[in-house]
Chains A and B, each alone.
Chain A
Amino acid sequence: MERYDRAIRSAVINSVENMLFIEVLPGDEQRSPPNEPDRLTVSILIHAPVLGELRLSMPESLATRITAAAYCLPAKEVTDEMRSDTLAEIINIIAGRFLNEILDDDQSFQLGLPQIESGPSIDQGVEQQKWTFLSDADAFTVVAIGSDLLRR
């Protein structure tokens, strides 16, 4: 599980920092943010060689800040579509990096298309693990879902 932990942290921190030049730090898991209504969540399914799902969830304010950084625009010019697309691209890159970290070099993988989620970020009752990260004062979470994925 330690390798798994390292893989997700490295995937998240490197993806956001390399893509957006925004510093990200591991957060305190005991103080993870609640499922507030203004949080945006995007998910991506992993189809092969394991079945699972990754979800990225963050406050709208952070999503706007990240999107503004990506597009080099003032925050007030960021549209909902830009924000959704940027989050989708981030989870796509995180998933690719994460799978490259946990799979052997000779194993290729297959991802689904990122989806914006309208429901709560955490499904209760399914096997999952959550990681919290910090960007300035904002916390965001990444959740891995699925026993196939979590038991590797």
Chain B
Amino acid sequence: MKRIVIADDSATARMFIRRCLEILGIDNAAIIEVTNGKEALAKIKEAATDLVITDLNMPVMDGETLIKWLKANPKLSQIPVLVISSAGNPTKEAELIKLGVTAVLSKPVSPPALMDKIAPLLTPADISHNGR
């Protein structure tokens, strides 16, 4: 995993996600933080991206709109998208999976829950020996 884009308007939420990735040993990827879907889309188009982690409720462009843009673009539609949001429930999760999202997690995120969802996307090279 070389490049991860994290979209959340909360700096605290982004910090928690980044810390979870570090705890899991995913500390050799370039992590790009943005505050809304529009910025995320711009960053994703700039360079090959291996994972998008997004909140749903954001200003300017929300997470659901970001997901629709990604899935509508043949060049970007295969990028795995993980939603981490406080606005999730079984119905919402089903809607998001139907849109093409890889997995949905409820806030606050924990390292084991995050690992459970992203493990299928990782190769041994993605995890450093410093993982705690």
List residues of chain A with CB under 8 Å of any chain B CB. Answer: 15, 18-19, 70-71, 81-82, 85-86, 88-89, 92-93, 95-97, 99-100, 103, 105-113
Contact = CB atoms under 8 A, between A and B. Distances in A.
A110 B57 CA distance: 8
Given A19-B108, A113-B57, A105 B90 contact: yes
Interface string B67-87: 000000000000000000111
Given A96-B85, A103-B89, A113 B59 contact: yes
B119 to A, nearest CB: 21
A96 B15 contact: no
The DSSP consensus for interface residues of chain A is helix
Interface of B: 9-13, 15-16, 57-59, 85-92, 95, 106-108, 110
B10 A92 contact: yes
Nearest to B106: A96
B10 A85 contact: yes
